[in-house]
Amino acid sequence: MTAPLLEVRGLAKHYPLKHGRIVRAVDGVDLALAPGESVGLVGESGCGKSTVARLVLRLIPPTAGSIRFEGRELTGLSDSALRPLRRHMQIIFQNPHAALDPRRTVFASVAEPLVVQGLAGRDLQARVARLLVQVGLPEGFLWRYPHELSGGQKQRVCIARALALEPRLLVLDEPTSALDVSVQAQILEFLQELRARLGLAYLFISHNLAVVRQVCDRVAVMYLGRIVEEGPAERIFGAPRHPYTRALVASVLPPRPAGLPEAPLAGDVPNAAAIPPGCRFAPRCPMRMDRCTREDPTLSGGTGHRVACHLHEAA
Protein backbone atom coordinates (compact mmCIF):
# COMPACT_ATOMS: atom_id res chain seq x y z
CA MET A 1 0.00 0.00 0.00
CA THR A 2 1.24 3.51 -0.84
CA ALA A 3 2.51 5.44 2.19
CA PRO A 4 0.04 8.22 3.03
CA LEU A 5 0.88 11.77 2.04
CA LEU A 6 -1.17 13.02 4.96
CA GLU A 7 -2.18 11.01 8.01
CA VAL A 8 -4.26 12.44 10.82
CA ARG A 9 -4.94 10.49 14.02
CA GLY A 10 -7.14 11.44 16.97
CA LEU A 11 -7.20 15.07 15.90
CA ALA A 12 -9.07 17.37 18.28
CA LYS A 13 -9.69 21.09 18.65
CA HIS A 14 -11.48 22.16 21.81
CA TYR A 15 -12.29 25.72 22.82
CA PRO A 16 -12.84 26.31 26.54
CA LEU A 17 -15.80 28.54 27.49
CA LYS A 18 -16.81 30.07 30.81
CA HIS A 19 -18.05 27.83 33.62
CA GLY A 20 -16.03 24.82 32.49
CA ARG A 21 -17.94 24.34 29.24
CA ILE A 22 -15.97 23.24 26.19
CA VAL A 23 -16.77 23.58 22.50
CA ARG A 24 -15.57 20.35 20.87
CA ALA A 25 -15.26 21.67 17.32
CA VAL A 26 -13.17 18.68 16.24
CA ASP A 27 -13.28 15.69 18.53
CA GLY A 28 -11.15 12.75 17.44
CA VAL A 29 -10.75 12.70 13.66
CA ASP A 30 -8.75 10.04 11.78
CA LEU A 31 -8.06 10.69 8.11
CA ALA A 32 -5.49 9.68 5.50
CA LEU A 33 -4.72 10.83 1.95
CA ALA A 34 -2.51 9.00 -0.50
CA PRO A 35 -0.35 11.00 -2.94
CA GLY A 36 -2.51 12.24 -5.81
CA GLU A 37 -5.74 11.22 -4.09
CA SER A 38 -8.80 13.46 -3.75
CA VAL A 39 -10.69 13.08 -0.48
CA GLY A 40 -13.89 14.96 0.23
CA LEU A 41 -14.78 16.04 3.76
CA VAL A 42 -18.51 16.71 3.86
CA GLY A 43 -21.14 17.61 6.41
CA GLU A 44 -23.54 20.33 7.43
CA SER A 45 -22.37 23.78 8.34
CA GLY A 46 -20.80 23.78 11.81
CA CYS A 47 -19.72 20.12 11.78
CA GLY A 48 -16.03 21.03 12.09
CA LYS A 49 -14.77 20.37 8.57
CA SER A 50 -13.20 23.81 8.03
CA THR A 51 -11.53 23.54 11.43
CA VAL A 52 -9.98 20.24 10.28
CA ALA A 53 -8.63 22.06 7.20
CA ARG A 54 -6.97 24.70 9.34
CA LEU A 55 -5.59 22.14 11.78
CA VAL A 56 -4.09 20.03 9.00
CA LEU A 57 -2.20 23.06 7.73
CA ARG A 58 -1.26 24.03 11.29
CA LEU A 59 -2.91 27.42 10.82
CA ILE A 60 -4.32 26.73 14.27
CA PRO A 61 -2.79 24.41 16.88
CA PRO A 62 -4.61 21.17 17.76
CA THR A 63 -5.73 20.35 21.29
CA ALA A 64 -4.72 16.73 20.74
CA GLY A 65 -3.79 14.25 18.06
CA SER A 66 -1.19 13.66 15.41
CA ILE A 67 -0.76 15.19 11.93
CA ARG A 68 1.87 13.53 9.76
CA PHE A 69 2.80 14.90 6.35
CA GLU A 70 5.05 12.66 4.26
CA GLY A 71 5.78 10.77 7.46
CA ARG A 72 6.85 13.84 9.45
CA GLU A 73 4.94 14.81 12.56
CA LEU A 74 3.73 18.43 12.35
CA THR A 75 2.30 18.91 15.81
CA GLY A 76 4.79 20.51 18.12
CA LEU A 77 6.88 22.03 15.30
CA SER A 78 7.75 25.71 15.61
CA ASP A 79 6.74 28.20 12.90
CA SER A 80 10.29 28.24 11.55
CA ALA A 81 10.39 24.42 11.39
CA LEU A 82 6.98 24.38 9.69
CA ARG A 83 7.89 26.97 7.04
CA PRO A 84 9.73 24.64 4.63
CA LEU A 85 6.94 22.05 4.93
CA ARG A 86 4.14 24.55 4.37
CA ARG A 87 5.16 25.15 0.77
CA HIS A 88 4.03 21.59 0.04
CA MET A 89 0.56 22.14 1.56
CA GLN A 90 -1.50 25.04 0.30
CA ILE A 91 -5.07 26.17 0.90
CA ILE A 92 -7.69 27.66 -1.40
CA PHE A 93 -10.36 29.55 0.51
CA GLN A 94 -14.05 29.84 -0.21
CA ASN A 95 -14.18 33.49 -1.17
CA PRO A 96 -11.71 34.62 -3.85
CA HIS A 97 -13.06 38.17 -3.56
CA ALA A 98 -11.73 38.38 0.00
CA ALA A 99 -8.58 36.33 -0.63
CA LEU A 100 -7.00 38.87 -2.99
CA ASP A 101 -5.76 42.29 -1.90
CA PRO A 102 -7.69 44.83 -4.05
CA ARG A 103 -4.63 47.14 -4.13
CA ARG A 104 -2.29 44.54 -5.60
CA THR A 105 -2.00 43.42 -9.21
CA VAL A 106 -2.37 39.79 -10.19
CA PHE A 107 1.40 39.70 -10.63
CA ALA A 108 2.03 40.96 -7.08
CA SER A 109 -0.41 38.48 -5.55
CA VAL A 110 0.90 35.42 -7.40
CA ALA A 111 4.55 36.47 -7.05
CA GLU A 112 4.41 36.89 -3.27
CA PRO A 113 5.35 33.32 -2.24
CA LEU A 114 8.08 33.24 -4.91
CA VAL A 115 9.58 36.52 -3.71
CA VAL A 116 9.78 35.06 -0.22
CA GLN A 117 11.77 32.18 -1.75
CA GLY A 118 14.21 34.70 -3.29
CA LEU A 119 13.01 34.75 -6.93
CA ALA A 120 13.27 38.19 -8.59
CA GLY A 121 13.48 40.10 -11.86
CA ARG A 122 12.80 38.47 -15.22
CA ASP A 123 12.83 34.95 -13.76
CA LEU A 124 10.06 35.96 -11.38
CA GLN A 125 7.93 37.54 -14.09
CA ALA A 126 8.37 34.55 -16.39
CA ARG A 127 7.44 32.14 -13.59
CA VAL A 128 4.28 34.10 -12.68
CA ALA A 129 3.29 34.29 -16.35
CA ARG A 130 3.68 30.49 -16.63
CA LEU A 131 1.53 30.02 -13.54
CA LEU A 132 -1.23 32.15 -15.08
CA VAL A 133 -1.15 30.08 -18.25
CA GLN A 134 -1.24 26.92 -16.11
CA VAL A 135 -4.55 28.03 -14.58
CA GLY A 136 -6.02 29.04 -17.92
CA LEU A 137 -5.52 32.82 -17.72
CA PRO A 138 -3.76 34.91 -20.38
CA GLU A 139 -0.40 36.49 -19.57
CA GLY A 140 -2.03 39.87 -20.20
CA PHE A 141 -3.78 39.49 -16.83
CA LEU A 142 -0.48 40.03 -14.98
CA TRP A 143 -1.09 43.75 -14.51
CA ARG A 144 -4.80 43.63 -13.80
CA TYR A 145 -6.33 44.37 -10.41
CA PRO A 146 -8.89 42.10 -8.74
CA HIS A 147 -11.80 44.45 -9.54
CA GLU A 148 -11.07 43.87 -13.25
CA LEU A 149 -11.60 40.10 -12.89
CA SER A 150 -14.69 37.89 -12.67
CA GLY A 151 -15.22 35.61 -9.67
CA GLY A 152 -13.96 32.58 -11.57
CA GLN A 153 -10.87 34.45 -12.76
CA LYS A 154 -10.12 35.55 -9.20
CA GLN A 155 -10.34 31.97 -8.00
CA ARG A 156 -7.93 30.93 -10.77
CA VAL A 157 -5.51 33.62 -9.56
CA CYS A 158 -5.78 32.19 -6.02
CA ILE A 159 -5.06 28.72 -7.42
CA ALA A 160 -2.06 30.07 -9.36
CA ARG A 161 -0.69 31.57 -6.14
CA ALA A 162 -1.24 28.28 -4.30
CA LEU A 163 0.59 26.39 -7.07
CA ALA A 164 3.57 28.76 -7.07
CA LEU A 165 5.63 26.65 -4.66
CA GLU A 166 4.68 23.36 -6.33
CA PRO A 167 2.67 21.86 -3.46
CA ARG A 168 1.79 18.19 -3.18
CA LEU A 169 -1.42 18.80 -1.25
CA LEU A 170 -4.14 21.38 -1.89
CA VAL A 171 -6.73 21.93 0.80
CA LEU A 172 -9.80 23.35 -0.93
CA ASP A 173 -12.24 24.88 1.54
CA GLU A 174 -15.59 25.25 -0.27
CA PRO A 175 -13.67 26.56 -3.31
CA THR A 176 -16.71 27.11 -5.54
CA SER A 177 -19.48 28.06 -3.13
CA ALA A 178 -18.98 31.83 -3.58
CA LEU A 179 -19.13 31.55 -7.38
CA ASP A 180 -22.02 31.64 -9.85
CA VAL A 181 -23.33 28.18 -10.76
CA SER A 182 -22.03 28.31 -14.35
CA VAL A 183 -18.57 29.34 -13.12
CA GLN A 184 -18.60 26.61 -10.44
CA ALA A 185 -18.80 23.93 -13.12
CA GLN A 186 -15.84 25.43 -15.00
CA ILE A 187 -13.69 25.64 -11.86
CA LEU A 188 -14.54 22.06 -10.83
CA GLU A 189 -13.65 20.78 -14.26
CA PHE A 190 -10.44 22.76 -14.14
CA LEU A 191 -9.55 21.39 -10.68
CA GLN A 192 -10.00 17.82 -11.95
CA GLU A 193 -7.85 18.49 -14.97
CA LEU A 194 -5.19 20.17 -12.82
CA ARG A 195 -5.01 17.23 -10.43
CA ALA A 196 -4.60 14.78 -13.29
CA ARG A 197 -1.89 16.94 -14.84
CA LEU A 198 0.13 17.70 -11.69
CA GLY A 199 -0.57 14.61 -9.56
CA LEU A 200 -1.79 16.77 -6.66
CA ALA A 201 -3.69 15.42 -3.67
CA TYR A 202 -6.86 17.31 -2.68
CA LEU A 203 -8.55 17.57 0.68
CA PHE A 204 -11.84 18.95 -0.60
CA ILE A 205 -14.05 20.52 2.06
CA SER A 206 -17.68 21.03 1.05
CA HIS A 207 -21.26 20.94 2.25
CA ASN A 208 -22.28 20.22 -1.35
CA LEU A 209 -22.39 16.48 -1.99
CA ALA A 210 -22.95 16.89 -5.73
CA VAL A 211 -19.68 18.80 -5.99
CA VAL A 212 -17.80 16.23 -3.93
CA ARG A 213 -19.17 13.37 -6.01
CA GLN A 214 -17.79 15.05 -9.11
CA VAL A 215 -14.28 15.65 -7.77
CA CYS A 216 -13.41 13.08 -5.09
CA ASP A 217 -12.12 9.48 -5.06
CA ARG A 218 -13.00 9.00 -1.41
CA VAL A 219 -15.39 10.73 0.96
CA ALA A 220 -15.42 11.24 4.73
CA VAL A 221 -18.70 12.37 6.28
CA MET A 222 -18.39 14.54 9.37
CA TYR A 223 -20.98 15.08 12.05
CA LEU A 224 -20.48 17.17 15.16
CA GLY A 225 -16.69 17.00 15.18
CA ARG A 226 -16.28 13.34 14.17
CA ILE A 227 -16.14 11.30 11.00
CA VAL A 228 -19.17 9.00 10.98
CA GLU A 229 -18.63 7.29 7.62
CA GLU A 230 -15.72 7.05 5.23
CA GLY A 231 -15.22 5.16 2.01
CA PRO A 232 -14.87 5.19 -1.77
CA ALA A 233 -17.08 7.87 -3.35
CA GLU A 234 -19.11 5.35 -5.32
CA ARG A 235 -20.00 3.49 -2.11
CA ILE A 236 -20.79 6.59 -0.09
CA PHE A 237 -23.15 7.86 -2.79
CA GLY A 238 -24.39 4.49 -4.09
CA ALA A 239 -24.72 2.51 -0.86
CA PRO A 240 -24.44 4.84 2.16
CA ARG A 241 -24.72 3.06 5.52
CA HIS A 242 -24.76 5.60 8.36
CA PRO A 243 -28.27 7.05 8.87
CA TYR A 244 -26.79 10.57 8.66
CA THR A 245 -25.05 9.90 5.34
CA ARG A 246 -28.21 8.24 4.04
CA ALA A 247 -30.28 11.28 4.93
CA LEU A 248 -27.74 13.67 3.39
CA VAL A 249 -27.52 11.66 0.17
CA ALA A 250 -31.30 11.24 -0.02
CA SER A 251 -31.86 14.97 0.41
CA VAL A 252 -29.49 16.22 -2.26
CA LEU A 253 -28.82 13.59 -4.86
CA PRO A 254 -31.69 12.42 -7.01
CA PRO A 255 -32.31 9.69 -7.96
CA ARG A 256 -32.35 8.45 -4.41
CA PRO A 257 -30.50 5.13 -3.88
CA ALA A 258 -32.85 2.21 -3.15
CA GLY A 259 -34.08 1.93 0.41
CA LEU A 260 -33.23 5.45 1.55
CA PRO A 261 -35.78 7.22 3.75
CA GLU A 262 -38.16 9.72 2.21
CA ALA A 263 -38.00 11.99 5.25
CA PRO A 264 -35.42 14.78 5.04
CA LEU A 265 -32.91 15.28 7.83
CA ALA A 266 -34.81 16.78 10.75
CA GLY A 267 -33.55 19.37 13.22
CA ASP A 268 -30.24 21.16 13.46
CA VAL A 269 -26.75 20.02 14.38
CA PRO A 270 -26.60 20.18 18.21
CA ASN A 271 -24.33 22.70 19.91
CA ALA A 272 -20.72 21.49 19.97
CA ALA A 273 -20.59 22.66 23.60
CA ALA A 274 -23.36 20.22 24.53
CA ILE A 275 -22.62 17.01 22.69
CA PRO A 276 -25.27 14.35 23.41
CA PRO A 277 -24.15 11.21 25.31
CA GLY A 278 -23.72 7.98 23.39
CA CYS A 279 -24.02 8.38 19.63
CA ARG A 280 -23.90 12.09 18.85
CA PHE A 281 -26.37 11.66 15.99
CA ALA A 282 -28.94 9.93 18.24
CA PRO A 283 -31.23 12.97 18.81
CA ARG A 284 -31.83 13.20 15.04
CA CYS A 285 -31.58 9.53 14.09
CA PRO A 286 -34.72 7.77 12.79
CA MET A 287 -33.04 4.39 13.51
CA ARG A 288 -32.14 5.16 17.15
CA MET A 289 -32.12 2.23 19.61
CA ASP A 290 -31.92 2.23 23.40
CA ARG A 291 -28.18 1.63 23.49
CA CYS A 292 -27.53 4.55 21.14
CA THR A 293 -27.97 7.15 23.88
CA ARG A 294 -25.53 5.27 26.14
CA GLU A 295 -22.82 3.83 23.91
CA ASP A 296 -20.65 5.87 21.57
CA PRO A 297 -20.09 3.90 18.32
CA THR A 298 -16.58 3.77 16.86
CA LEU A 299 -15.61 3.98 13.21
CA SER A 300 -15.12 0.43 11.98
CA GLY A 301 -15.46 -1.80 8.92
CA GLY A 302 -13.35 -3.43 6.25
CA THR A 303 -12.61 -2.90 2.55
CA GLY A 304 -11.96 0.79 3.07
CA HIS A 305 -15.61 1.54 3.93
CA ARG A 306 -15.97 2.39 7.61
CA VAL A 307 -18.98 3.53 9.56
CA ALA A 308 -19.62 4.62 13.16
CA CYS A 309 -23.06 3.18 13.92
CA HIS A 310 -24.30 0.36 16.15
CA LEU A 311 -26.42 -0.91 13.24
CA HIS A 312 -23.27 -1.77 11.30
CA GLU A 313 -21.00 -3.26 13.94
CA ALA A 314 -19.44 -6.65 13.21
CA ALA A 315 -21.32 -9.43 15.05
Where do contacts with ligand SF4 occur on this chain (CB under 6 A)?
242-243, 279, 281-282, 285, 287-289, 292, 297, 309-311
Nearer to ligand SF4, 77 or 287 (CB): 287
Closest of 76, 3, 12 to residue 34, by C-alpha: 3
Query: Which are the contacts of 150, defined by CB distance < 8 A and separation ≥ 6?
Result: 183
Q: How far apart are CA 198 and CA 122, in angstroms?
A: 25
Order of all β-strands in the sheet with 38-42: 89-92, 169-173, 201-206, 38-42, 218-223, 226-232, 306-307
Measured between alpha carbons, how far is 297 from 291 in angstroms, rounded to an integer?
10
Taking the complex as a whole, the smallest distance from the CB of residue 260 to ligand SF4 amounts, in Å, to: 14
- The smaller minimum CB distance to ligand SF4, of residues 97 and 288, is found at 288
CB of 290 to ligand SF4, least distance (A): 9
Q: How far is the CB of 291 from ligand SF4 (least distance, A)?
A: 8
The CA distance from 97 to 183, in Å, is 14
Under 8 Å between Cβ of 160 and 132: yes
| Residue among 256 and 310 whose Cβ is closer to ligand SF4 | 310
Q: Which is nearer to ligand SF4, 53 or 292 (CB)?
A: 292
Minimum separation from the CB atom of position 250 to ligand SF4 (A): 15
Backbone angles phi, psi at 83, to 5 degrees: -50, -50
- Taking the complex as a whole, the smallest distance from the CB of residue 174 to ligand SF4 amounts, in Å, to 26
Identity of the residue, 108 or 275, whose beta carbon is nearer to ligand SF4 in the bound complex: 275
Between CA 97 and CA 153, with CA 122 as vertex, the angle to 5 degrees is: 20
- Rounded-to-integer distance, Cα 308 and Cα 279, Å: 9
Give 118-137 as a DSSP string: T--HHHHHHHHHHHHHHTT-
State in angstroms the smallest separation of the CB of 223 from ligand SF4. 9
